[in-house]
Amino acid sequence: MVLNEKLLYDKFENFRFYRKLKRFDKRSGFFTLGVPSLIVMMGIIVTGTFLVDKQLEVKYFREQSLSKRELTLKEEHEEMLKMLNKVVPSDKLDNSIPIPKIED
């Protein structure tokens, strides 16, 4: 009998707590407005963080690919200059405009 009275008391205690929560929510609107607003705000923060992270990641990879491209272009340019220097040294080139020969 004592066990049943204890369970009955616990049930009523839970109802009392539930009524207090309901009264608190009626006065403040914490559970009906605050919790859904908190969920929406957290969703917006998570989504915004994800988007900014992806934008920064794309920017980093774009800069990395541009630097690789510039490096390969620079290497190709240096190779071409080496090849040209092997053929004719640049200091021995005649940069003047040739005079056309006129045959009489």
- 61-100, pLDDT tens digit by residue? 988 888 888 889 999 999 988 887 777 665 666 666 666 7
Name the nearest CA neighbour of 86 among 76, 97, 96, 78. Answer: 78
Q: Which two tokens stand for residue 19?
A: 């009524």
Going by C-beta distance under 8 Å and a sequence separation of 6 or more, which residues neighbour residue 31? 21, 25
Distance CA 100, CA 54 (A): 64
Query: Tokens 């630097």 appear where?
Result: 67
pLDDT, residue 99, reads 66
Report which residue type is found at 93: L
Question: pLDDT digits over 14-46, tens only?
Answer: 778 888 888 888 898 888 888 899 999 999 999
pTM: 0.50
Give the Cα separation of 8 and 80 in Å (integer): 93
Domain definitions of the chain by residue range: 8-86
